[in-house]
C-alpha cells in the first residue's frame, strides 16, 4: 500500500510544462476497424548526464512497448533510420523513411533524479502535436513513460488511453484467494488483502480510490470496502445470508449488491454505509452480478428466471426488466462499457466459456474468443477500447478494434476476475 | 473436505488415548468393588472405614455413569460422523432436490427430529464451471432448497443455518465430469449437539 505514496508524490514534483498545441483534429479513429497502422519513428532519446544512456534506452523501449499495446502503430525498425535524431529536426530525412509520426525524447540524469522531455511530431507537416516535460526519481521512469504514452495517444485520438490504469484481480495462493493489484501491463503485482481466506469480486469506485470486494473473513460471504491510500479494510455490507457481487453506481454514491432477504435472493441498492435504500430486483430465482450503464439509468444483471442463467436489463426509470441474451444456455458476468454502447459477458459454448459483446438493445452479438479453454469475467478498460478477462487462470487483454489478445503478468498460480480501474491520478 | 477428515482423525486419536487412559483407571477400581459384596456385612467395623465406604461407592457409581455417558456420547458422535459423511448432490446449474437426495434427506430429517438439540449448518457448493459470482448465488439456492426440504419434513427451522461456498471449496479438485458431479453438493456440519 505504501507504494502508492511515492507515485502520488512523484507527480506533485512534475513540472507540467504545457507547451501543448492542442489540435481539435483527431488523427486516429481508434474505433475504425481495418485501418492501416501508422508508421512511427522512435529514435534513441537525447541524453545528458552520467548513466543517462541506460535509462534513456529503457525509457524508449518501454514507450515502444506501450504504443505497441494499442495496436495502432507500425513502429519503424531503427535500422531504417538515416541517422540519430537531430537537435533541430530535419523532417525531410524522417519523411523519406516513411515515418508519419516522430517522437523525440530527452533525458537528463542528475544523481537519483531525471529530467525528461518528450515531443510528438507530424512529420509531413513538420509540426509538434504535443510536448511535455516531466521530472521525477529514476526508479519512477516507468510511470513517466506511461504518462508520455498517454499524452501521445490523447494528442492523436482526443482521448487518454489505458497507460495510467491498473487492474485488480483475485490471486489464488495456497488455497486462499486474495485481492491483488497490478499495472495495466501486468507489471508490479502486489497484494491489497492479506486476509488468509477467500476474497472475491473486486470492484472499483468510479474515482479509483476505493474497492469493494466479497470476503469470507466473517461468518459468510460479506462485502468489504478497501481504501487504496491507507490500505484500510472495513466490513460494509453484512446482512444475514449472502452479501455478494457488489457494484458502485456511476456516481459512486450507492452500491448494488445481491442479498438474501427472507429466503429470496434479490439485488438491493444500499448507500455508502451499507444501509438498504431499496430493492431493485426481487425474484424467487438467482439474481446476481449487477452492472450499471454509465448514465446510471439501466442495470444489467444475471438471472435464472427463464430456466437458465441469462442477462437481463433493468430500466431503473421505467422499472421494467427485459431479457438481453437468447443465444446459449449459460450467459453470465455482464459488464457495461464505459461509453454505454456495449455489454460484454461470458457465455458457455460447447462446454467452454467464451467472451461475447452485444449492444444493449440485443443487436450485434459478437463472439470474441474461440479457443477450447475457459474465458471468463470480462472487464472494460476505462477508454472502452480493451477487455481484460481470465483465461484458464491467467489474465489476458483483448483489443476490441482488431480482436487480438495476449497475456499480461508472469505470476504463477491462478489469477481470476480482473477488474480494470478508472484512469488514476498519481 | 480434507479439513474435516483431519479433524476426525485427530479426534479419533484423542478419543482412543482418552479411552485407554480411562480403562487403566477403571481396572484399578475393579479391585475396590469387592467391598460392595460385603456391603451388608458386620457393622462392627471401624468408623473410619464406614465413612470411607459410601464415599467409595459414590465414586464407583459416578465412574459407571461417566462410562455410560461416554458410551452414549461415543455413539452420538458416530451418528454425527455418519450424518456429516453423507452429502447430497445436484445437477449442473440446478438446485432442485433430486430423488436420490430426497431419500438421504428423509433419513437425515428423521435423525434430526430424534435429536432436537442438534444444530446443523448446510453448506451449498458448486462445481468449478461458471462464474464465481453466479456460483455463490447458486450455492445459496442449493443450501436453501435443502433447508426448505428438511423443514417440510418437520425439522425445526431454527436448528438449520446455511452458507454458500460457491465453487470455492471443491471436495474433488480434478477438472472432469466425475469431480464436478461430486462437487455439486450440499454438505452438512453439526455445529451444536
Claim to verify: residue B18 and residue B60 sit in the same structural domain: yes
DSSP string covering A43-103, please? PPPEEESTTHHHHHHHHHHHHHHHHHHHT-EEE--GGG-SSSPPSS--HHHHHHTT-SEEE
| Beta carbon pairs, A and B, within 8 Å | 81
A180 belongs to a structural domain: yes
Query: At a CB cut-off of 8 Å and minimum separation 6, what does A41 contact?
Result: A76, A81, A94, A97, A99, A101, A102, A103, A123
pLDDT tens string A255-297: 999 999 887 899 999 999 999 999 999 888 899 999 999 999 9
Higher pLDDT: A85 or B50? It is A85
Chain A interface disruption, residue of B93, B128, B132, B150, most A CBs within 10 A: B132
The CATH number of the domain where A368 resides is what?
2.120.10.30
Claim to verify: residue B107 and residue B143 sit in the same structural domain: yes
Q: Of A110, A134, A157, which one is at a domain's C-terminal end?
A: A157
Which of A386, A360, A354 has the alpha carbon at shortest distance from A373?
Answer: A354
- Has residue B38 got a pLDDT over 70? no
- Find the mean pLDDT for residues A177-190: 96
Q: Of B16, B46, B81, which one is at a domain's C-terminal end?
A: B81
Distance from CA of A168 to the nearest CA of B (A): 16
Claim to verify: residue B139 and residue B92 sit in the same structural domain: yes
A426 belongs to a structural domain: no
The CATH number of the domain where A91 resides is what?
3.40.50.10070
- Has residue A139 got a pLDDT over 80? yes
- Has residue A29 got a pLDDT over 70? no
The whole-number pLDDT of residue B60 equals: 87
The whole-number pLDDT of residue B124 equals: 97
- Has residue B53 got a pLDDT over 60? yes
The whole-number pLDDT of residue A22 equals: 37
Claim to verify: residue B96 and residue B188 sit in the same structural domain: yes
The whole-number pLDDT of residue A14 equals: 38
pLDDT tens string A103-126: 999 999 998 999 999 999 999 999
Task: Calculate the average pLDDT of chain A.
Answer: 90
What confidence category does residue A31 fall into, taking pLDDT thresholds of 50, 70 and 90? low
Q: Which three cell numbers stand for residue A293?
A: 450503464
Cβ within 8 Å, pair A416-B132: yes
The whole-number pLDDT of residue A285 equals: 87
Claim to verify: residue B103 and residue B37 sit in the same structural domain: no
Cβ within 8 Å, pair B130-A286: no
The whole-number pLDDT of residue A296 equals: 96
B48-57 long-range contacts (CB < 8 A, ≥24 apart) are: B56/B32
The whole-number pLDDT of residue B119 equals: 96
User: Which residues of chain B lie closer than 8 angstroms to A177, CB-CB?
Assistant: 168
Q: Name the residue range of residue A350's domain.
A: 166-420
Claim to verify: residue B97 and residue B67 sit in the same structural domain: no
- Has residue A40 got a pLDDT over 90? yes
Q: Is the pTM of this model over 0.90?
A: no
pLDDT tens string A342-379: 999 999 999 999 999 999 999 999 999 999 999 999 99
Beta-strand relationship, A176-183 and A343-349? unpaired
Claim to verify: residue B51 and residue B74 sit in the same structural domain: yes
Claim to verify: residue A215 and residue A151 sit in the same structural domain: no
Claim to verify: residue B95 and residue B188 sit in the same structural domain: yes
Claim to verify: residue A136 and residue A186 sit in the same structural domain: no
Distance from CA of A212 to the nearest CA of B (A): 14
The whole-number pLDDT of residue B15 equals: 55
Q: Which three cell numbers stand for residue A32?
A: 475504425
Distance from CA of A399 to the nearest CA of B (A): 22
Q: What is the distance between the alpha carbons of residues A397 and A208, in angstroms, rounded to a whole number?
A: 20
The whole-number pLDDT of residue A15 equals: 32
Residue of B nearest to A389 (CA): B131
Claim to verify: residue A104 and residue A180 sit in the same structural domain: no
Cβ within 8 Å, pair B137-A244: yes
Claim to verify: residue A198 and residue A95 sit in the same structural domain: no
ipTM score over 0.90, yes or no? no
Q: Name the residue range of residue B181's domain.
A: 88-192
Claim to verify: residue B182 and residue B99 sit in the same structural domain: yes
Claim to verify: residue A198 and residue A92 sit in the same structural domain: no
Q: What is the distance between the alpha carbons of residues A73 and A41, in angstroms, rounded to a whole number?
A: 10
pLDDT tens string A208-236: 999 999 999 998 999 999 999 999 999 99
The whole-number pLDDT of residue A88 equals: 87
Q: Of A121, A139, A157, which one is at a domain's C-terminal end?
A: A157
**Beta carbons of A276 and A268 less than 8 angstroms apart:** yes
What confidence category does residue A173 fall into, taking pLDDT thresholds of 50, 70 and 90? confident
pLDDT tens string B126-185: 999 889 999 999 999 999 999 999 999 999 999 999 999 999 999 999 999 999 999 999
What confidence category does residue A426 fall into, taking pLDDT thresholds of 50, 70 and 90? low
A253 belongs to a structural domain: yes
The domain total for chain A is 2
Q: Of A119, A134, A157, which one is at a domain's C-terminal end?
A: A157
The domain total for chain B is 2
Cβ within 8 Å, pair B164-A376: no
The whole-number pLDDT of residue B130 equals: 87
The CATH number of the domain where B97 resides is what?
3.30.1330.60
Query: At a CB cut-off of 8 Å and minimum separation 6, what does A51 contact?
Result: A109
Claim to verify: residue A271 and residue A409 sit in the same structural domain: yes
A96 belongs to a structural domain: yes
Q: Of B62, B81, B100, which one is at a domain's C-terminal end?
A: B81
A94 belongs to a structural domain: yes
Q: Which three cell numbers stand for residue A362?
A: 440485443
Nearest to B130 among A220, A265, A332 (CB): A332
Amino acid at each position: 500500500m505504501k507504494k502508492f505514496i511515492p507515485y502520488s508524490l512523484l507527480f506533485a514534483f512534475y513540472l507540467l510544462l504545457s507547451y501543448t498545441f492542442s489540435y481539435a483534429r483527431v488523427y486516429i479513429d481508434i474505433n475504425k476497424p481495418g485501418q492501416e497502422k501508422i508508421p512511427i519513428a522512435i529514435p534513441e532519446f537525447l541524453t545528458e548526464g552520467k548513466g543517462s544512456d541506460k535509462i534513456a534506452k529503457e525509457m524508449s523501449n518501454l514507450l515502444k512497448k506501450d504504443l505497441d499495446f494499442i495496436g495502432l502503430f507500425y513502429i519503424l525498425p531503427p535500422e531504417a533510420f538515416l541517422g540519430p535524431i537531430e537537435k533541430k529536426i530535419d523532417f525531410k530525412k524522417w519523411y523519406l523513411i516513411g515515418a508519419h509520426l516522430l517522437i523525440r525524447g530527452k533525458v537528463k540524469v542528475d544523481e537519483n533524479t531525471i529530467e525528461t522531455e518528450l515531443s510528438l511530431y507530424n512529420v509531413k507537416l513538420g509540426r509538434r502535436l504535443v510536448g511535455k516535460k516531466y521530472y521525477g526519481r529514476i526508479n519512477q521512469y516507468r510511470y513517466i513513460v506511461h504518462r508520455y504514452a498517454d499524452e501521445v495517444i490523447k494528442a492523436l485520438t482526443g482521448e487518454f488511453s489505458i497507460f495510467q490504469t491498473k487492474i485488480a484481480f483475485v490471486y489464488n495462493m495456497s488455497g486462499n484467494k486474495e485481492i491483488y493489484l497490478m499495472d495495466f501491463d501486468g507489471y508490479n503485482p502486489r497484494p491489497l488483502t492479506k486476509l488468509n481466506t477467500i476474497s472475491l469480486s473486486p470492484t472499483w469506485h468510479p474515482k479509483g480510490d476505493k474497492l469493494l470486494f466479497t470476503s469470507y473473513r466473517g461468518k459468510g460471504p460479506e462485502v468489504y470496502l478497501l481504501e487504496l491510500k491507507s490500505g484500510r479494510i472495513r466490513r460494509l455490507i453484512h446482512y444475514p445470508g449472502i452479501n455478494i457481487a457488489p457494484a458502485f453506481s456511476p456516481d459512486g454514491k450507492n452500491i448494488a449488491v445481491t442479498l438474501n432477504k427472507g429466503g429470496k435472493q434479490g439485488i438491493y441498492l444500499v448507500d455508502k454505509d451499507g444501509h438498504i435504500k431499496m430493492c431493485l430486483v426481487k425474484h424467487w430465482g438467482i439474481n446476481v452480478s449487477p452492472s450499471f450503464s454509465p448514465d446510471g439509468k439501466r442495470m444489467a444483471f444475471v438471472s435464472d428466471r427463464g430456466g437458465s442463467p441469462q442477462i437481463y436489463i433493468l430500466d431503473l426509470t421505467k422499472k421494467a426488466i427485459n431479457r438481453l441474451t437468447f443465444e446459449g444456455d449459460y450467459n453470465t458476468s455482464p459488464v457495461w462499457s464505459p461509453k454505454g454502447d456495449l455489454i460484454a459477458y461470458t457465455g458457455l459454448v460447447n462446454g467452454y466459456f467464451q467472451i461475447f459483446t452485444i449492444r444493449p438493445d440485443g443487436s450485434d452479438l459478437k463472439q470474441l474468443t474461440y479457443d477450447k479453454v475457459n474465458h471468463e469475467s470480462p472487464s472494460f478498460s476505462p477508454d472502452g477500447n480493451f477487455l481484460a478477462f481470465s483465461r484458464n487462470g491467467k489474465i489476458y487483454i483483448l483489443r476490441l478494434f482488431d480482436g487480438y489478445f495476449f497475456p499480461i503478468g508472469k505470476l504463477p498460480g491462478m489469477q481470476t476476475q480482473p477488474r480494470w480501474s478508472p484512469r488514476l491520478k498519481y | 473436505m480434507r479439513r474435516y477428515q483431519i479433524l476426525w482423525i485427530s479426534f479419533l486419536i484423542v478419543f482412543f488415548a482418552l479411552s485407554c487412559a480411562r480403562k487403566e483407571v477403571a481396572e484399578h477400581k475393579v479391585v475396590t468393588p469387592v467391598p460392595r459384596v460385603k456391603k451388608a456385612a458386620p457393622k462392627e467395623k471401624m468408623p473410619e472405614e464406614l465413612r470411607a465406604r459410601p464415599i467409595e461407592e459414590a465414586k464407583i457409581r459416578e465412574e459407571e455413569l461417566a462410562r455410560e455417558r461416554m458410551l452414549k456420547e461415543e455413539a452420538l458422535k458416530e451418528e454425527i460422523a455418519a450424518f456429516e459423511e453423507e452429502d447430497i448432490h445436484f445437477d449442473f446449474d440446478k438446485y432442485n432436490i433430486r430423488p436420490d437426495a430426497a431419500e438421504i434427506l428423509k433419513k437425515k430429517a428423521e435423525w434430526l427430529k430424534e435429536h432436537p438439540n442438534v444444530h446443523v449448518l448446510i453448506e451449498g457448493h458448486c462445481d468449478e464451471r461458471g462464474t464465481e459470482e453466479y456460483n455463490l448465488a447458486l450455492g445459496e439456492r442449493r443450501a436453501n432448497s435443502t433447508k426448505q426440504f428438511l423443514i417440510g419434513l418437520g425439522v425445526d427451522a431454527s436448528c438449520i443455518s446455511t452458507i454458500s461456498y460457491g465453487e470455492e471449496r471443491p471436495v474433488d479438485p480434478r477438472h472432469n465430469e466425475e469431480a464436478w458431479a461430486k462437487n455439486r453438493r450440499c454438505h452438512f456440519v453439526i455445529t451444536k449437539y
